């Protein structure tokens, strides 16, 4: 009896195993997923979880330097101001969205290309963010002149010297100064007397407006010295590789072999030399400090870059480089630059500002600079700022930090290099940019017609 019971138990176990196998087979035949298997497409094998094709790799974000190598020193045409395409060494496409204002960029390109100059550039930025709104150059078929750092800074450097005098030597716009000699020359004899002695009397504001070399030379030689000039030059970004999405040359300041040479310091402080070099992009940044409470922003011309999958691999954002000067000095620089625009070396192109339907709605300031380069060609600078006056409508709704420039402001730089065969000057390029940008915003009915009647005149002498 015991043996029979064991045989029946074995038989029942075999039947159970058989049923399990049959049920399992039926389940597979009906498409039920097995443990560890995913549901496959209808009529096909199930997909195995964990063995799917790997997802595409996460987008690789670019640094500014890498993007600058990818884009190169190109001109950006109006049609590309919104979006253009570049390719890496593997042939992969990237789509670049810029910060440029298409109409302002088109006008800037038209003006520099039509200037007849050996080289010309025009740059406009939003001073409170560093966003580049126009970046136009002409005269270099292999690159963009606006990115070059080979231009002598000339009297544009007086902005740096004035800032140093106010930060380090207790000067302000109305501090009295004295000088000998003419306004736009510089001789060793002009430095023979102390900083407060001389035949002619003026103020720092008026000396800046008229670009008096002897006054600024004496500031460098007597009040600031090598240390003060170099420190402020560094504050303003000289001798520094400014990160940018296009390859941007450094602006250079060099004390020379003998930093204690008083006349050399005078030459540097007044801009009466060919060794201090400035790029047009940097020139616009220097002008922006007068509106930014002393802040200096990193320039940016790319808002974002997308790869072929539509993923963002680069995004431009406002970045504060540092505090070039204090808020008080920034405000004093604004006073100096306004005087230069209205009563000083800028009055030939902006003397009608109060009557102009567009310019009369702006607060403007600027600084000129002219010098012959090592080839004997004339280098003509003008850097400027403009901001809508009280009651004028804002031209832009993009704002930066709490101390940034008012909405709708511009900082600009123009440089023209010519051999005497062009009548176009840098101030004319700046004026044209202001009219192109603010005309439709502040005087929609008049547009840029307010420029009519302005005849180009060449500026002679150093300033």
Q: What is the DSSP string of 388-408?
A: EPTTSPPS-----STTSPPTT
The reported pLDDT for the residue numbered 392 is 64
- Give the start-end residues of each E strand in 281-434: 295-297, 302-306, 312-315, 320-323, 362-372, 378-388, 410-418
Domain count for the chain = 1
Would you write out the chain's pLDDT as a tens digit for each of its 463 residues?
Answer: 444 554 455 555 544 544 544 444 434 443 333 333 334 444 444 444 455 666 666 667 899 999 999 999 999 999 999 999 999 999 999 999 999 999 999 999 999 999 999 999 999 999 999 999 999 999 999 999 999 999 999 999 999 999 999 999 999 999 999 999 889 999 999 887 777 889 999 999 999 999 999 999 999 999 999 999 999 999 999 999 999 999 999 999 999 999 889 999 999 999 999 999 999 999 999 999 999 999 999 999 999 999 999 999 999 999 999 999 999 999 999 999 999 998 999 999 999 999 999 999 999 999 999 999 999 999 999 999 999 997 665 434 333 444 557 779 999 999 999 998 888 999 999 999 999 999 999 988 764 443 433 443 333 344 5
- Do 107 and 436 form a contact (C-beta atoms < 8 A)? yes
Residue 271 sits in which domain range?
A: 100-301+317-451
Predicted model pTM: 0.83
Residue with tokens 């680069």: 314
**214 domain-assigned:** yes
The reported pLDDT for the residue numbered 114 is 96
**68 domain-assigned:** no
**312 domain-assigned:** no
The reported pLDDT for the residue numbered 402 is 45
Nearest to 244 by CA among 316, 295, 190: 316
> Largest alpha-carbon pair distance within the chain?
141
**411 domain-assigned:** yes
Which residues partner with 84 through β-bridges?
96
The reported pLDDT for the residue numbered 12 is 55
Distance in angstroms (rounded) separating the CA atoms of residues 341 and 336:
9
The reported pLDDT for the residue numbered 116 is 94
Q: How many residues does the chain have?
A: 463
**61 domain-assigned:** no
Which residues partner with 413 through β-bridges?
123, 383
SS3 182: coil
Locate 398 and state its tokens. 């993009």
**253 domain-assigned:** yes
Distance in angstroms (rounded) separating the CA atoms of residues 220 and 34:
86
Angle, CA of 137, 362 and 417, to the nearest 5°? 25
The reported pLDDT for the residue numbered 54 is 65
CB atoms inside a 10 Å sphere around CB 328: 13
Which residues partner with 381 through β-bridges?
369, 415
Nearest to 136 by CA among 349, 356, 413, 386: 413
Helix (H) / strand (E) containing 98: strand 93-98
Beta strands 151-152; 132-138: pairing state: unpaired
Locate 389 and state its tokens. 């006056």
**62 domain-assigned:** no
Domain of residue 405, CATH code: 3.40.710.10
**417 domain-assigned:** yes
- Do 78 and 108 form a contact (C-beta atoms < 8 A)? no
């Amino acid at each position: 009896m015991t043996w029979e019971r064991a045989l029946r138990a074995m038989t029942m176990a075999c039947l159970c195993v058989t049923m399990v196998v049959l049920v399992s087979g039926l389940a597979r035949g009906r498409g039920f997923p097995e443990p560890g298997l995913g549901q496959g497409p209808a009529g096909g094998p199930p997909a195995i979880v964990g063995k799917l094709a790997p997802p595409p790799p996460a987008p690789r974000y670019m640094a500014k330097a890498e993007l600058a190598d990818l884009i190169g020193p190109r001109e950006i045409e109006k049609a590309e101001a919104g979006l253009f395409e570049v390719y890496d060494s593997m042939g992969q496409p990237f789509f670049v969205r810029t910060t440029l204002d298409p109409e302002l960029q088109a006008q800037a390109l038209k003006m520099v290309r039509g200037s007849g100059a050996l080289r010309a550039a025009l740059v406009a930025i939003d001073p409170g963010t560093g966003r580049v709104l126009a970046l136009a150059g002409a005269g270099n078929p292999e690159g963009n002149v606006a990115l070059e750092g080979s231009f002598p800074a000339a009297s544009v450097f007086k902005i740096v010297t004035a800032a140093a005098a106010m930060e380090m030597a207790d000067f302000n716009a109305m501090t009295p100064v004295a000088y000998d000699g003419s306004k736009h020359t510089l001789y060793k004899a002009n430095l023979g007397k102390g900083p407060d002695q001389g035949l002619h009397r003026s103020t720092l504001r008026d000396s800046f407006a008229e670009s008096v070399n002897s006054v600024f030379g004496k500031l460098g030689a007597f009040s600031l010295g090598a240390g003060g000039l170099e420190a402020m030059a560094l504050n303003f970004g000289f001798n520094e590789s400014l990160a940018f999405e296009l390859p941007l040359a450094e602006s250079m300041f060099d004390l020379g072999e003998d930093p204690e040479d008083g006349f050399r310091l005078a030459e540097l402080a007044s801009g009466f030399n060919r060794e201090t070099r400035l790029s047009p992009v940097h020139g616009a940044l220097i002008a922006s400090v007068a509106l930014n409470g002393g802040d200096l922003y990193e320039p940016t011309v790319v808002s974002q870059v997308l790869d072929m999958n539509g993923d963002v691999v680069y995004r431009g954002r406002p970045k504060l480089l540092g505090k070039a000067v204090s808020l008080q000095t920034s405000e004093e620089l604004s006073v100096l630059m306004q005087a230069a625009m209205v009563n000083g070396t800028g009055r030939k192109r902006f003397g009608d500002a109060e009557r102009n339907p567009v310019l009369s709605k702006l607060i403007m300031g600027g600084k000129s600079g002219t010098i012959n380069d090592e080839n004997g060609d004339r280098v003509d600078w003008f850097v400027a700022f403009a901001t809508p006056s009280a009651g004028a409508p804002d031209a832009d709704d993009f704002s930066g930090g709490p101390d940034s420039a008012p909405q709708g402001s511009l900082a600009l730089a123009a440089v023209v290099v010519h051999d005497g065969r062009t009548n176009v000057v840098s101030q004319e390029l700046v004026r044209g940019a202001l009219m192109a940008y603010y005309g439709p915003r502040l005087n929609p009915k008049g547009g840029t017609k307010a420029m009519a009647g302005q005849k180009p005149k060449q500026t002679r002498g150093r300033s």
